[in-house]
A and B are shown apart, each in its own frame.
Chain A
């Protein structure tokens, strides 16, 4: 007898309602459908408040699915608690939490299987909710939760996985926006630092599978209440995070946040092809003051953008700052890059700046001599960097070949220019 039928047969023997110990503890009820029973919990939260996203913000957040996302009434936030992280056919989602905007707040609903036999019933209930709201919003759900649920549906050989209209996974934009400020962009970290929430004591998520296994083997239901709470928190955090991201993206140029987040924002804009707006935010981030390494990274990226838009004034200014020389003077030997004291990334950035400046002087400013001088400086710095071990031999080889090639061409130009002078003199 298939697992579903078995469970159904067993279920018909039991009374419904919240007679179940676990259902009572978590404030839920036992529900029955054609595949048997499962426990469901419903809870409404005034916080976070429902959000109505601006199309413009949606376009920046998820360009590929902006129109599918336009109606937030179709959104279904989803987060699963599983028996492991390994994936594969032997990992189960024993608690599936979903949430949607309702009555100005957030309606959370959780489906729980008290035993494996209740999985079919749980999946059917989830499928019904997904049919009503086929736009999924998750955190890392594209890699983890949804493929796992798809596997679970396939394993039933009876219930089809609901086709999604769209799936918005907030992990990737969250990474772009906040990885620079926070080492880890796990949902709990974002909740704490971005939303400023304090969850209070929460369980250690590695414990979750074991808590469930203990319960399965006849352990008490009480410890699982923490898992339900944890899942509710995650769903609220997820919903709030989507609101936070969307409001940030409504008017990114004027968004009120700290320098590091502005930097993240400018990168996100750049990735979306919003060059002008991206530049504005880069400038704001620089003005707000970034820590050393990131300051250089931001200048480098901004310089590239400026160059691409043919704003050579701003680009050369930035490259000059990066190379540690003042642009405009014929040479500045004292300000030369101090290879010995620089780090790997700095060296790399500085060399790029030199090279870019040389290119600028060669092609835009038509000053090959200046370009050649810069290239020579870059070569000297490169040599020092190799000696001090700031770059690997392979990188050195590659960069040197490129610089020497340029210098050769520039010197040829110089010589030709030199000859020209004598002829005309």
Chain B
């Protein structure tokens, strides 16, 4: 930190973003708010000549775009690809990575027009962006190659032409999975000549999505082999600790890692901002949303073009409201501050992107939708409201600010969440060598079996085949028993009427969307929201925010997947309350731990339901009302790791029942934080719940009743938590709780068993986290916010941990 802060004391900060940073630093009287100012000096480009094997017309086309020499990393990638190697290039934003794959691929197409390549992007929008770049090159090359996007939006009548004439097909993993592989006979020409597969934004393929993709790629290689081709992979990734490992797990082959960046960069500052503590007793800091808006405003008012990142749609809209109020435009003038997120319609998004490039839009508040690739030009400043969850995405968001010349700046405003606090207080951890690993589990049985079904549908499974590291004949036999496959000779064939890929989503539980219809005047579709978040955002009576405008949800048509909203102007927003129950279906493994207690993992059924909502006033965050909701329940089979606190342990705690329970919830909160660090996963990948240990293995007993209106009102700020009704029920003397950490994904993504194995470490680190927290009686960074009724939550959690850590 000392080295980072050196910049602060030097009086060299002049105009531009430097001035703004200086101003922010000057206001930090305690020195606790700005925890780091990291200066990244400008860097010279390292260039080499275009290799002589590049076709002259291609070199000319690039020269016409101003590329007469290559950055060293671009040349290195091109050479390796030409030598037939699989590569992964690790580069920061705006370092010319597109050329890394376009150059060798286009060269190969120009050398042999039969050559085909497939580019996979994690989102449709990224593919669109690449299409523009390739069209530009295509025009300069007299349209000697065909390039098309193939996704859900591709018109049916255009598809045939794409399959026949496209040299480069830009698509996404989902389309490959449901649209291309199951119909590979229509793609014969592509598969027979498939030379290259480009995997862009490789680091996004981790966890669930990555585990799925690895299996989709197994299927792809199988089909390619069937048509006699063996494609090479060109991958690009943001900086992570193990790009080579992740890439080779994904493609199941050796990969060369190229991470020497030769691109130039202008000077840049990265600032860590920790909102001031307003209540040291409760460990409460000022809202990160309010503070981030304030910081963004400092830049905006000095005319610096700024992008603000929020971690949720709700926060996007809240900050947009703040910033628009602070930057009023004369009537009739277009808004200078805009919002941007997934639910906006495509046309609106293109318009915003253009406005940003042209500088007409001075500020934009976005979700992670603008984190990757989309061309919005380069801005002066990026402000992040809350830690994006990983160091890699923090750098990608920060990379949105960065002029060719002059300084730029990125500010990370921490929330009270444990990870945020950890990051801003440990700058060395952040600025050192990346500690982040991308992990996937392609052999997760749930995921693998699904793809094995798809593979069998695509092509009968042969006797010598391999599909992941599993006993294939054994799995096939199981699938035959279940009626999915049939063995004929030595081959396994698909024997179901259904189309397996249709029911398997690579990213989420379901691909359902709710359409949002504004019925203030003539009915008009204003956006959409995906199934899993629909009940949280567009439940009846919710305030739905879109482009800073508030809408009241009049009616939610669950069957038709439609939400009818009307424009309103109120001073509050709503926050949904989710209620979760876990039932153990089968315990896979169980062991005793000191305490006494138990640790276990196995299959569970998770039911969750949005049971109510709270109305929260803007600016003051006061709770101004609540409502109950009767909405359908969501059910999910998954895997969980859980810890049982046995009766002697619970009884030995020198606290009344309500405080013991508060301690348990606090402990769970901290356990979850530590688990995400240990697993290198997203907080969203894990769910938590507390339930009573079942009296017998097959009967689960949980908090059965839905909460009362009063209870909803008293719930803590954080969503998804409920301090069960047992706290009001003193008769439950023999409560033996299970603390569940479940995989928030149907079927599980393989976190439960690792957690079971690292139980001791998990408990020890959790104890360190809570014990090391500077708050007095619990705060969001350790056991969660301290409530009036639960003053001793932190103390109780530590007492439980002390028992769990006792030497045997």
Interface residues of A (CB under 8 A from B): 1, 3, 6-7, 10, 83-90, 92, 115-117, 150-151, 154-155, 157, 209-210, 213, 216-217, 393
- B491 and A86 within 8 A (CB): no
- B496 and A84 within 8 A (CB): yes
Cα distance, A85 to B499, chains bound together (Å): 9
Q: A150-B185, A157-B226, A216-B486 are in contact. Are A89 and B458 (CB under 8 A)?
A: yes
Would you give the shortest CB distance from A251 to chain B, in whole angstroms? 38
Cα distance, A84 to B495, chains bound together (Å): 9
Q: Given B183, B458, B460, B483, which contacts A213 in the complex, CB threshold below 8 Å?
A: B483
Cβ of B457 within 8 Å of any chain A Cβ, yes or no, is yes
Q: A157-B226, A393-B522 are in contact. Are A213 and B489 (CB under 8 A)?
A: no
- A213 and B495 within 8 A (CB): yes
Cα distance, A92 to B182, chains bound together (Å): 13
- B495 and A89 within 8 A (CB): no
- B493 and A116 within 8 A (CB): yes
Cβ of B427 within 8 Å of any chain A Cβ, yes or no, is no
Show 8 residue pairs from A and B whose CB-CB distance is below 8 angstroms, ordered by the A residue. A3-B488, A3-B491, A83-B497, A84-B496, A85-B497, A86-B499, A157-B226, A213-B483
| Chain A positions within 8 Å of B459 at CB level | 89, 155
Would you give the shortest CB distance from B319 to chain A, in whole angstroms? 37
User: What is the size, in residues, of chain B's interface with A at 8 Å between Cβ atoms?
Assistant: 28
Interface string of B77-101 (1 = CB under 8 A from A): 0000000000000000000000000
Interface string of B434-472 (1 = CB under 8 A from A): 000000000000000000000011111000000000000
Would you give the shortest CB distance from A114 to chain B, in whole angstroms? 9
Would you give the shortest CB distance from B246 to chain A, in whole angstroms? 30
| Chain B positions within 8 Å of A213 at CB level | 483, 486, 495-496
Cβ of B72 within 8 Å of any chain A Cβ, yes or no, is no
Q: A150-B185, A213-B483 are in contact. Are A117 and B491 (CB under 8 A)?
A: yes
Cα distance, A6 to B456, chains bound together (Å): 18
Cβ of B188 within 8 Å of any chain A Cβ, yes or no, is yes
Q: Given A7, A92, A216, which contacts B489 in the complex, CB threshold below 8 Å?
A: A7
Cβ of B309 within 8 Å of any chain A Cβ, yes or no, is no
| Chain A positions within 8 Å of B488 at CB level | 3, 115-117, 216
- A89 and B188 within 8 A (CB): no
Cα distance, A85 to B497, chains bound together (Å): 7
- B486 and A217 within 8 A (CB): yes
| Chain A positions within 8 Å of B182 at CB level | 88-90
9 more contacts with CB within 8 A, not counting A87-B499, A116-B489, are: A84-B496, A85-B497, A89-B457, A89-B459, A90-B458, A90-B493, A92-B493, A115-B489, A217-B483
Q: Given B183, B493, B495, which contacts A88 in the complex, CB threshold below 8 Å?
A: B183
Q: Given A6, A157, A209, which contacts B497 in the complex, CB threshold below 8 Å?
A: A209
| Chain B positions within 8 Å of A216 at CB level | 486, 488, 495
Cα distance, A209 to B226, chains bound together (Å): 27
- B495 and A3 within 8 A (CB): no
- B496 and A155 within 8 A (CB): no
| Chain B positions within 8 Å of A90 at CB level | 182, 456-458, 493-494, 499-500
| Chain B positions within 8 Å of A87 at CB level | 183, 499
| Chain A positions within 8 Å of B226 at CB level | 157
Cβ of B490 within 8 Å of any chain A Cβ, yes or no, is yes
Would you give the shortest CB distance from B382 to chain A, in whole angstroms? 44
| Chain B positions within 8 Å of A150 at CB level | 185
Cα distance, A210 to B490, chains bound together (Å): 22
Cβ of B184 within 8 Å of any chain A Cβ, yes or no, is yes
- A89 and B522 within 8 A (CB): no
Interface residues of B (CB under 8 A from A): 182-186, 188, 226, 456-460, 483, 486, 488-491, 493-500, 502, 522
Would you give the shortest CB distance from B169 to chain A, in whole angstroms? 18
- 4 closest A-B pairs by CB: A90-B457, A84-B497, A86-B499, A116-B488
- A1 and B497 within 8 A (CB): no
Would you give the shortest CB distance from B531 to chain A, in whole angstroms? 23
| Chain A positions within 8 Å of B522 at CB level | 393
Cα distance, A156 to B488, chains bound together (Å): 15
Cα distance, A87 to B494, chains bound together (Å): 13
- B457 and A116 within 8 A (CB): no
- B498 and A155 within 8 A (CB): no
Cα distance, A157 to B483, chains bound together (Å): 27
- A151 and B458 within 8 A (CB): no
- B494 and A6 within 8 A (CB): no
Cα distance, A84 to B494, chains bound together (Å): 11
| Chain A positions within 8 Å of B184 at CB level | 89
- B498 and A6 within 8 A (CB): no
- B188 and A86 within 8 A (CB): no
| Chain A positions within 8 Å of B456 at CB level | 90
| Chain A positions within 8 Å of B493 at CB level | 90, 92, 116
- B183 and A89 within 8 A (CB): yes
| Chain A positions within 8 Å of B494 at CB level | 90
B501's closest neighbor in chain A, by CB? Answer: A88
A3's closest neighbor in chain B, by CB? Answer: B491
- B486 and A88 within 8 A (CB): no
| Chain B positions within 8 Å of A6 at CB level | 489-491
- A154 and B185 within 8 A (CB): yes
Cα distance, A209 to B459, chains bound together (Å): 19
A152's closest neighbor in chain B, by CB? Answer: B185
- B185 and A155 within 8 A (CB): yes
B227's closest neighbor in chain A, by CB? Answer: A157
Cα distance, A95 to B456, chains bound together (Å): 21
| Chain A positions within 8 Å of B499 at CB level | 84, 86-88, 90
Cα distance, A213 to B497, chains bound together (Å): 10
- A116 and B490 within 8 A (CB): no
A84's closest neighbor in chain B, by CB? Answer: B497
B223's closest neighbor in chain A, by CB? Answer: A89
- A86 and B498 within 8 A (CB): yes
| Chain A positions within 8 Å of B483 at CB level | 213, 217
Cα distance, A88 to B499, chains bound together (Å): 8
A206's closest neighbor in chain B, by CB? Answer: B497
Would you give the shortest CB distance from A387 to chain B, in whole angstroms? 17
Cα distance, A86 to B494, chains bound together (Å): 13
Cα distance, A90 to B491, chains bound together (Å): 13
Would you give the shortest CB distance from A161 to chain B, in whole angstroms? 10
Cα distance, A417 to B495, chains bound together (Å): 79
* Residue with the greatest number of chain B CB neighbours at <10 A, chosen from A86, A90, A92, A115: A90
Q: Given A88, A151, A154, which contacts B457 in the complex, CB threshold below 8 Å?
A: A88
| Chain B positions within 8 Å of A83 at CB level | 495, 497
Cα distance, A6 to B488, chains bound together (Å): 9
